[in-house]
Amino acid sequence: MTERVRVTGPPRHTAAAAGRPASRLGDVHEQTALGDVYLRSLLREQLGLAARVLGVLALTLGALPIAFRLAPGLADAHPLGIPLPWLLLGVLVHPFLLLLAWRYVRRAERNERAFADLVGGEEP
């Protein structure tokens, strides 16, 4: 009876790979200590990015009710014939959220590209 062989991917030690530096992606896939450091670094960077975006969101949108509370005259303003609270919360918030989301996605993708370059040039 022949022995079964489990094939998990292309061979890592081929003549074509001899001239290139070794990929560290195997460390990530095999969950070695070094791979864990790489992954924790990516996760820490992504978490920091998310926290910064949420902070900007809380400071900007969270400041609106405080501004209306501290300056009640703002609620009576009608630029363009629309009450200012409606204009800010109903119209201007949406482009702001889209811009914030667009920037978040761009920076998260940049973090992932940097991670992929660090571990061997392949997508995570």
Q: Which whole number is the average pLDDT over 30-46?
A: 80
Q: What is the pTM of this model?
A: 0.66
Domain count across the chain: 1
Quick check: 109 pLDDT over 90? yes
Within a domain: residue 65?
yes
Q: Which whole number is the average pLDDT over 18-25?
A: 54
Within a domain: residue 112?
yes
pLDDT band for position 39 (cuts 50, 70, 90): confident
Within a domain: residue 15?
no
Domain that residue 104 falls in: 27-119
What confidence score (pLDDT) does residue 57 get? 94
Within a domain: residue 4?
no
Q: Which whole number is the average pLDDT over 10-25?
A: 53
Higher pLDDT: 44 or 19? It is 44
pLDDT tens-digit profile of 40-91? 888 899 999 999 999 999 999 888 888 888 888 888 888 888 888 888 888 8
Within a domain: residue 69?
yes
Phi, psi of 114 (to 5 degrees): -65, -40
Q: Which whole number is the average pLDDT over 14-23?
A: 50
Within a domain: residue 31?
yes
Within a domain: residue 85?
yes
Within a domain: residue 1?
no
Q: What is the DSSP string of 16-79?
A: GGGGSPPPSHHHHHTT-HHHHHHHHHHHHHHHHHHHHHHHHHHHHHHHHHHHHHH-THHHH--G
